[in-house]
Amino acid sequence: MVSMRKSPIKFSLLGNEALKKTGRALKQDEAFVETLLLFFTDVSNVIKFTGRFLKEFFLPPYEFKEVIKQCYEVGYRSISLVALTGFIMGLVLTLQSRPTLVEFGAASLLPRMVSVSIIREIGPVITALICAGKIGSGIGAELGSMKVTEQIDSMEVSGTNPFKYLVVTRTIATTLMVPFLAILSDAISLYGSYVGVNINGKVSLTLFFSQAFHSLSYSDLLPATIKTFFFGFAIGLIGCFKGYYSSNGTEGVGQAANTSVVVASLLIFFIDMIVVQITNILGFN
């Protein structure tokens, strides 16, 4: 009799646990669907934002003075950080690679290996990531603060086109300046590699750079330079998009700056993957 009385309780407990598990699974599915919908909504909004940029880009008036100002803010003010990063990158890459090459008796190939690695892949990608962290977050925070303080709305009321003045100019500036910063970083990285080689040996500057450029060709330089324009465009566009449509006050400004860096960094890797596949198909390898 005792066992018969306890069995309904056990079955009810099992039923409650099953219902709880089912409820948790449904909540997880709903959260996944909601996240997926938000993702596709953001993608569609970015596509619309890009289309509006391309439209405004060709329409007058043209803000040449603002473009030059933003090129100064984006390019000149980032030179020190990019140069320091490039020097350390070349130095560390050389110091880390030298022992392995010495082990196989190929230490003389170090300048060629470092030059190809930096020019083709490491230099442009690392420089773009540095710019995404510094420039992308700055643009997102600047436009986000203007949005939450209603400065953008005031520009619209006064008859100024805020999209043309704020978004187009900054995106053009990043598109033009990131390739310049990448080339500068590559050059300084090679000099850092030269310093790294001379820590454990003695190689003249002329011999080092002659060996470094001996293994390079236009098939290495051209794709690496072209993709930096796309990196710069992605950094500027995402930073402007997140800042231009930020909300929720000061908290939204921080979110705009943070998401600008994250999304721009992911886009850099995605663009780099596509460019590598295209160059492999076209035979640039």
pLDDT in tens, 184-200: 999 999 999 999 998 88
Q: Give the domain extent around 243.
A: 61-282
Tokens 């309904």, located at residue: 8
Asked if residue 207 is part of any domain, the answer here is yes
- pTM of the model as a whole: 0.86
Distance, CA of 41 to CA of 239 (rounded, Å): 17
- What is the Cα 267 distance to its own chain's centre? 6
Question: Cβ(206)–Cβ(133) under 8 Å?
Answer: no
Distance CA 160, CA 174 (A): 22
Reported as type and span, the H/E element at residue 12 is helix 2-58
Residues 72 and 31 in one domain: no
120 and 189 housed in the same domain: yes
Please tell me the predicted confidence (pLDDT) of residue 133. 92
Of 126, 121, 72, 67, nearest to 265 by C-alpha is 126
DSSP type of residue 60 = S
Q: How does pLDDT run across 220-252, given as a tens digit for each residue? A: 888 899 999 999 999 999 999 999 988 877 788
**Given a cut of 90, is residue 271 above it in pLDDT?**
yes
pLDDT more than 90, % of the chain: 51
- Evaluate whether residue 51 is within a structural domain: no
Residue 233 resides in a domain: yes
Rounded to an integer, what distance in angstroms lies between the CA atom of residue 21 and that of residue 9? 18
Concatenated DSSP letters of 186-238: HHHHHHHHHHHHHHSS---HHHHHHHHHHT--HHHHHHHHHHHHHHHHHHHHH
163 and 252 within one domain: yes
Q: pLDDT for 72-97, tens place per residue?
A: 999 999 999 999 999 999 999 999 98
Same domain, residue pair 129 and 222: yes
For residue 101, what pLDDT band results from cuts at 50, 70 and 90?
A: confident
87 and 147 part of one domain: yes
Say whether both 66 and 28 belong to one domain. no
Is 135 within a domain?
yes
CA atoms within 13 A on the CB side of 59: 11
CA distances from residue 281 to 116, 219, 237, 268 in whole angstroms, order as listed: 19, 13, 28, 20
Residues 187 and 248 in one domain: yes
* DSSP secondary structure letters along 116-132: HHIIIIIHHHHHHHHHI
pLDDT tens digits, 9-48: 555 555 566 656 666 666 666 776 777 787 788 889 899 9
31 and 77 share one domain: no
CA distances 73 to 135, 146, 254, Å, are 9, 17, 21
Residues 221 and 184 in one domain: yes
- Same domain for 109 and 245, yes or no, is yes
Is 47 within a domain? no
Contact of 239 with 138, CB cutoff 8 Å? yes
In a domain, 11, yes or no: yes
What is the sign of the dihedral through the CA atoms of 127, 133, 134 and 137?
Answer: positive
Any idea which residue has 């002659």 for tokens?
Answer: 210
What is the arithmetic mean of pLDDT over 200-221? 86
pLDDT of 38 reads: 78
| Within-domain flag for 249 | yes
Please count the structural domains in the chain. 2
Residues recorded for the chain:
285
Question: What pLDDT, in 10s, does the model give residues 138-179?
Answer: 999 999 999 888 888 888 888 788 899 999 999 999 999 999
23 and 67 in a single domain? The answer is: no
Integer CA distances (angstroms), 47 to 40, 54, 138, 274, in order: 11, 11, 22, 18
Mean pLDDT of the chain: 86
- Are the beta carbons of 174 and 236 closer than 8 angstroms? yes
Domain-located, residue 171: yes
Task: Give the pLDDT score at 3.
Answer: 47
Q: Are residues 126 and 214 in the same domain?
A: yes
